[in-house]
Amino acid sequence: MNRKGWHKVLILLLCIVMACPSTILLSKEEKAQAATATLNLPASITATKLNVRTKASRTATQLTASKTKVSLLQGTKVTILSEKMVNKEKWYYISFKWEGKTTKGYVLSDYVKLTLKDSVAAKVNSSTKVKIRKAAGSTTYLKVSNKTISLANKTKLTITKEVTKKDVKYFCVEFTYSKKKHTGYIEANKVLFTPPVAEPERKPIDTGKVTTNNLRVRVGAGTTKEQMVDSSGAKVYLSTGAKVTIYSVTEVSGMVWYEVDFTHNDKVVTGFISGDYVKLDSEEGTDEDTPKDDPSTENPPKEDPKPDDNNPGGDTPGDDSSTETPTEPLSDAQFEQMMVTQGFPESYKPYLRSLHSQYPHWQFEAYHTGLDWNTAVTKESVVGKNLIPNSKNISWKSMESGAYKWATDSFVVFDGSTWVTASKDIIAYYMDPRNFLNPQGVFQFELLSYQEQYQTLNGLENILSGTPMAGTNYTYVDEEGVTQTKTYAQTFIDAAKYSGVSPYHLASRVKQEVVTSSKTFSTSATGTVSGYEGLYNFYNIGATHSTVAGGAVANGLRYAKNGTTNAANNALYLIPWTSPYRSIVGGSYVIGSTYIKRGQNTIYLEKFNMTPTSTYSHQYMANVQAAWSEATKTFAAYSSMDSVPIVFSIPVFLNMPDVPATLPADKLNPNNWLKTLKVEGFAITPSFDASIEQTYGLIVDASTDSIVINATAASKKATVNGVGRVSLNVGSNEVVISVIAENGDKREYKLNVIRLSE
């Protein structure tokens, strides 16, 4: 993905850690628990005398305060801070007053009753679907259209009260099922509370000035959003020099938008403006849109750049590592200490130990994203952001609204003719760094700076093997009109020297983007596309998504012809790309200046942007498998790696599960919708709506003793029952048309036919 006029946004995070002594002896686990507790639910003790423990376990030590073991009497008021399931028992982490001081510890939830004044958000917590009872302790369950309501894991609930029947605790809950609200009862041990999410404090991340006149201010990010109007109804514009305070950054269709505060008619107003027309104060003193630390800003190289022998890559983009290359590999003890110092979680360490034993010179750095794992996965799971081929199993594809059409049993295509939205489960698998801490996969974490001492022509030929570039020469005419001959491998070395980017990464990227077989390129790298003859785009830069045939290629070649609106950048990028040489070398500078210099200095971070700048956006590739795929190609380049000091920067998230995300198991099609429902010769009421399980009506005269029902399923893999000729009795006749999906899910549509009497 590319955008014009990209502005660097600097976000300063200030962390203040406070330590307070306590007379209560809690473990590190409990202290961490206390720091993250967020429920704050009122409750009271129901047991005659209840011991408070230091951990969520029946065998845990009883809590001690002021040298006295803590027990709570019946009726004691407590506040539930959080909950934890241990051996199928639910424990509450509570706070309460003990000898006048606020004290915290664990108690078994069986002996604590909620005393709610307001409803509480919650979710189902069960490996199997849970039936909802009509009353607490009842064996009668709620039904809809004669089908028992069963709620899946993580279904959202609202708890309104707690009831105990025969020593079993139940919650009265409200929930939505088949688009309608219902109320029923569920066992309390099959429910987890949902902690409230605090609204983050709105903090500015930068300030700046507008660089153009009549800049439209919109109500949201993107040109499709309406222009803002003031109280008089006049449209709001900003003029050159107008000061703005920036609070957030959003990317829409390759363009950066800022959420800003500004003064309009003596009032502070919030709106959205294009980042292309803002000069950030954090970039004061630099030429607008010109990448910093360029090897040359006045005299960009001609066809064959000659970099400084003492500094092959100029100022190397993204090479922020201060780690010196060791002459000897770390011992096992030193390696263990390194993992502790770097802050690698325990779940990473077995994989890292294995890599260290195989390649002792390799170096591993933890890149602490500061991002919550579940939040990051959710942000990357936005419909259309990460794509997967439609040929994959249904478990790999998203069925969220906007990604899947139930009425036609089809997935929405976002690129080409086959690329659809990836499922949250498969995104989590490819995002989880632990799944790729092996000799092949780990190369998606390799720092992408040029390392001349071990990134060689031989290694490049290994990468290019099996492609049209392997051992291949090509010719082109340089700016002096001289015909030059180059190998592709040497071209990537030249590109690395010019941009400071790893030639292995550049070659792998080209292989990923435009190689279609051992002898052919995609059309974007041939120079033969109609209307764009003589233009090449080997990295597919600017080739944004398009469902129009050839649309993405045309977008990329348009970029190859025109570049950005900034002439200085275009010179650095060697625009126009009228030869393979200009495309490969010039395009490498785009990658270096707009990705690696921004901190996206590994394949992983180019694919999944977990950096503080434009987090979750400005991502190079839509293919969710791209980072893994490129990593395997890079691995092939290193023919002898035992003594190569490669540096890997491996992301670490907050609140990661103890076990790595797994590949989702294959699933069968769940579509149980009807596509059509008709009665020959009659019209049913209301008009058929496939999305609703409802009863349809039909009245026939006394002479009609049967009707013919025709219905087709939305999915070819579903089975329809209840169609064909149906005999009618005088009076009311209920006909059930059922659809059974490939996975067994059943959906019923009902037709109530009234036959009049004579």
Of 30-34, 252-256, 414-418, 667-671, highest mean pLDDT: 667-671
Q: What is the pLDDT of residue 309?
A: 29
Residue type, 474: Y
Q: Using an 8 Å Cβ cutoff, are 745 and 688 in contact?
A: no
Tens of pLDDT along 176-185? 988 889 999 9
Average pLDDT over every residue of 343-367 = 94
- Per the model's pLDDT, the better-predicted residue between 25 and 411 turns out to be 411
Residues 6+ apart with CB under 8 A from 2: 254, 541, 542, 544, 559, 590, 594
For the stretch 403-412, contacts whose Cβ atoms lie closer than 8 Å and that sit 24 or more positions apart, written own/partner, are 406/671, 406/673, 406/690, 406/691, 406/714, 407/673, 407/675, 407/690, 407/691, 407/714, 408/675, 408/714, 409/669, 409/671, 409/673, 409/714, 409/715, 409/716, 412/383
**Is the pLDDT assigned to residue 16 strictly greater than 50?**
no
Phi and psi angles of residue 647, each rounded to the nearest 5 degrees, phi first = -105, 130
- Domains of the chain, first to last: 28-114 (2.30.30.40), 120-193 (2.30.30), 206-283 (2.30.30), 332-654 (no CATH), 674-755 (2.60.40)
**Is the pLDDT assigned to residue 567 strictly greater than 90?**
no
- Per the model's pLDDT, the better-predicted residue between 736 and 69 turns out to be 736
**Is the pLDDT assigned to residue 408 strictly greater than 80?**
yes
**Is the pLDDT assigned to residue 146 strictly greater than 80?**
yes
Give Cα 669 distance to the centre of its chain.
24
CA–CA separation, 11 and 276 (whole Å): 18
Q: What is the pLDDT of residue 211?
A: 84
Give residue for tokens 């001492």: 453
Q: What is the pLDDT of residue 204?
A: 85
Give residue for tokens 């003890």: 333
- Our CA dihedral for 585, 571, 293, 6, rounded to 10 degrees, sits at -100
Tens of pLDDT along 661-717? 999 999 999 999 999 999 999 999 999 998 887 799 999 999 999 999 999 999 999
Q: How confident is the model at residue 639 (pLDDT cuts 50, 70, 90)?
A: low
- Per the model's pLDDT, the better-predicted residue between 251 and 1 turns out to be 251
Residue type, 8: K
Q: What is the pLDDT of residue 2?
A: 37
CA–CA separation, 470 and 459 (whole Å): 11
**With the C-alpha atoms ordered 594, 598, 603, 609, is the resulting torsion angle positive or negative?**
negative
Tens of pLDDT along 196-250? 765 556 778 888 898 887 788 999 988 888 888 887 778 898 988 899 999 888 8
Q: Using an 8 Å Cβ cutoff, are 421 and 383 in contact?
A: yes
